Homo-oligomer: A and B are copies of this chain.
Amino acid sequence: MRAPYGLNIIDNCATCPVREEHLFCNLPLPALQKLNEIKSTAVYPKSAMLFIEGQLPRGVFVLCTGKAKLYTSSREGKTVILSLAEAGNVLGLNATISNKPHELTAEMTEPGQANFISRDALLHFLRENGEIALRVAEQLSRNYYSAFEEVRMLALASSPSEKLAKLLLSWTTDAVRASNPSHIRVTLTHEEIAEMIGTTRETVSRLFSEFKKKQLLQLKGATLIIRNKPALEKMVHS
């Protein structure tokens, strides 16, 4: 049984897919108990901001349910989405560890719960749990690699079609754990997809039309079916 509010990190890990890269999953029991003492839980509706670019970090958020997008915007309102967060992901870690303003905004795209751990409590916890501090370093490193991949996507892909192909392929590998890896639930709008690959909404619309016409993929409601994965891979000359 689960409390109506205040999902435990433990509870969450019992339900979320076991992935060692989840910073606070599969921890030794004493550490988990300590984490559950210092965390607080809240529910967030769609479009809620967990934190905003430029704010000083108060602590980290561990997403239990729901989804969030992490993005940065220019003054003109142009936006890049750096990543999509799901259950198990830890948000705001870079800013919290380095105590610099948030470089990103975290906004819920699907309502859900998140555990909050304040900076002080986290640092204190890490100092007493060197093993987990090491996992924090690993997580920071993963964050770096994902920003790095975004750079490659933006700078090395020549055309929007190549970028979209790359994005779709990255979704198929994300979905490996799902029943059918060629079936992907797309909860993003074309606008948001455009913001992930650095192009415009219209271009994304046209590319989907084009890919459908070329039998590369098929759309059933919010489900995207990859029909010709090799052809997509051939488009990506990374």
Stretch at the interface among A108-116, A153-161, A220-228: A153-161
Q: Which label, helix, strand, loop or mixed, suits the secondary structure of the A interface?
A: helix
The contact of A98 among B82, B141, B237, by CB within 8 Å, is B141
Give the number of times this chain occurs in the complex, counting copies. 2
Return the contact of A94 from the options B74, B145, B158 (Cβ within 8 A): B145
Which range contains the number of A residues in contact with the other chain? Answer: 35 or more
Query: Is the CB–CB distance between A137 and B138 below 8 Å?
Result: no
Report yes or no: B198 in contact with A154, Cβ–Cβ below 8 A.
yes
Decide if A140 is an interface residue (CB 8 Å cutoff): yes
Q: Does A107 reach chain B (CB closer than 8 Å)?
A: no
Q: Which residues of chain B have C-beta atoms less than 8 A from A94's C-beta? A: 141, 144-145
Instruction: Give the docked Cα–Cα distance between A73 and B78 (Å).
Output: 27
Q: Identify which of residues 144-191 in chain A touch chain B, using a CB-to-CB cut-off of 8 Å.
A: 144-145, 147-148, 150-152, 154-158
| Cα A56 to Cα B94 with chains together (Å) | 26
Q: List the B residue with the shortest CB-CB distance to A138.
A: B98
CA distance A76 to B100 in the complex (A): 38
Q: How far is the CA of A80 from the CA of B141 in the complex (A)?
A: 20
A100 vs B146: C-alpha distance when bound (angstroms): 13
User: Which residues of B have CB within 8 Å of A78?
Assistant: 155-156, 158
- 15 further A-B contacts with Cβ under 8 Å, apart from A72-B152, A94-B141, A98-B141, are A72-B151, A73-B156, A74-B156, A74-B157, A75-B237, A76-B237, A78-B155, A97-B141, A98-B138, A100-B145, A130-B130, A133-B137, A140-B140, A150-B155, A151-B151
Q: List 17 A-B contacts (CB under 8 A).
A: A72-B152, A73-B156, A74-B156, A74-B157, A74-B238, A75-B237, A75-B238, A78-B158, A80-B156, A82-B151, A94-B141, A97-B137, A98-B138, A130-B130, A147-B148, A147-B150, A150-B155
